[in-house]
Copies of this chain bind each other. A is one copy, B any other.
Amino acid sequence: MGELETLFAPTRVAVVGASNEEGSVGWAVTRNLIESFDGEVLPVNPQQSTVLGLACHDDVAEVTPIDVAIISVPVEIAVQEVREAAEAGVENVVVITAGFSEAGADGASRERELVAVAEEYDLNLVGPNSLGVMSTGVGLNATFAPAGAQPGNVSFMSQSGAFVTAVLDWAADRDLGFKDVVSLGNKAVLDERDFVAEWGEDPETAVILGYLEDVVDGRAFMETVRGVTAETPMVVVKSGRTEAGASAAASHTGAMAGSDEAYAAGFRQSGVLRVETVQELFDAASVLAGQPVPETESVAIVTNAGGPGVMTTDAVGDSTLSLSSFADGTIERLADALPGGANVYNPVDIIGDAPVERFETALEIVLADPNVGMAVVVACPTATLSFEDLADAVIDLQAAAEIPLAAALMGGSSTRSPASKLSEAGIPTYFDPARAVSSLETLATYGRVREREYVEPTTYDVDGERARSVLESAVRRGSSRVGVEAMELLAAYGIPTPAGEVVTDPDAAEAVAADIGGEVVMKIVSPDILHKSDIGGVELGVTPEEVADVYEDLHVRARNYQPDATILGVQVQEQLPLEDGVETIVGMNRDPQFGPVVLFGLGGIFVEVMEDTAVRVAPVSEPEARAMIDEISAAPLLRGARGREPVDVDALVEVVQRLSQLVTDVPAIAELDINPVLATPDGATAVDLRLTLDQEEL
Contact = CB atoms under 8 A, between A and B. Distances in A.
Interface of A: 23, 28, 103, 146-147, 158-163, 165-166, 169-174, 211, 213, 237, 239-245, 248-249, 251-253, 276-279, 304-311, 313-318, 322-323, 341, 343, 345, 347, 349, 352, 380-383, 410-414, 431-435, 534, 604-605, 608-612, 633-634, 636-637, 641-643
Nearest to A213: B310
A276 B314 contact: yes
B310 A245 contact: yes
Contact of A158 (B276, B307, B341, B382): B307
Complex copy number for this chain: 2
Contact of A308 (B163, B383, B641): B163
11 contacts: A160-B306, A162-B352, A162-B410, A169-B410, A240-B310, A242-B318, A244-B314, A278-B431, A279-B431, A608-B641, A611-B633
A73 B534 CA distance: 82
A304 B162 contact: yes
Contacts of A434: 276-279
Contacts of A382: 162, 165
Nearest to A609: B636
Contacts of A352: 161-162
A435 B634 contact: no
B609 A311 contact: no
A657 to B, nearest CB: 26
Contact of A252 (B174, B306, B634): B306
B412 A173 contact: yes
Contacts of A642: 604-605, 608-609
Residue from A147, A160, A276, A343 with most neighbouring chain B CB atoms (10 Å)? A160
A432 to B, nearest CB: 4
Given A311-B278, A314-B276, A166 B305 contact: yes
A307 B240 contact: no
A307 B383 contact: no
A282 to B, nearest CB: 9
Contact of A309 (B252, B315, B633, B641): B252
A359 to B, nearest CB: 14
Given A146-B381, A170-B410, A413-B173, A307 B213 contact: yes
B605 A251 contact: no
A11 to B, nearest CB: 29
Given A23-B383, A241-B318, A279-B434, 19 more contacts: A162-B410, A163-B380, A163-B410, A166-B380, A166-B411, A169-B411, A170-B412, A172-B412, A211-B307, A239-B311, A242-B318, A243-B317, A244-B314, A244-B323, A245-B310, A277-B432, A277-B434, A278-B434, A279-B432
B609 A641 contact: yes
Given A103-B341, A211-B307, A610-B634, A170 B252 contact: no
A32 to B, nearest CB: 13
Contacts of A174: 412
A679 to B, nearest CB: 15
A412 to B, nearest CB: 4
Contact of A165 (B159, B241, B380): B380
Contacts of A243: 317
Contact of A383 (B146, B213, B253): B146
Contacts of A276: 314, 318, 434
A345 B251 CA distance: 10
A586 B304 CA distance: 45
Contacts of A159: 307
Residue from A162, A237, A343, A641 with most neighbouring chain B CB atoms (10 Å)? A162
Contacts of A323: 244
Residue from A240, A277, A382, A609 with most neighbouring chain B CB atoms (10 Å)? A277
Residue from A162, A249, A310, A610 with most neighbouring chain B CB atoms (10 Å)? A310
Contacts of A636: 605, 609
A316 B239 CA distance: 12
Given A103-B341, A165-B382, A173-B413, A313 B279 contact: no
Nearest to A351: B162
Given A171-B412, A172-B412, A278-B433, A308 B166 contact: yes
Residue from A248, A322, A347 with most neighbouring chain B CB atoms (10 Å)? A248
A637 B23 contact: no
A118 to B, nearest CB: 24
A278 B432 contact: yes
Contacts of A310: 160, 213, 239-240, 245, 248-249, 252
B610 A309 contact: no
A495 B636 CA distance: 33
A279 B382 CA distance: 21
Contacts of A634: 605, 609-610
Given A160-B308, A307-B159, A605-B641, A381 B413 contact: no
A241 B278 CA distance: 27
Contacts of A605: 634, 636-637, 641-642
Contacts of A171: 412
Contacts of A251: 343, 345
A349 B160 CA distance: 13
Nearest to A240: B310
Contact of A314 (B166, B239, B317, B534): B239
Contacts of A241: 314, 317-318
Nearest to A635: B609
Contacts of A244: 313-314, 316-317, 322-323
Contacts of A169: 381, 410-414
B604 A314 contact: no
A306 to B, nearest CB: 4
A413 B435 CA distance: 22
A284 to B, nearest CB: 13
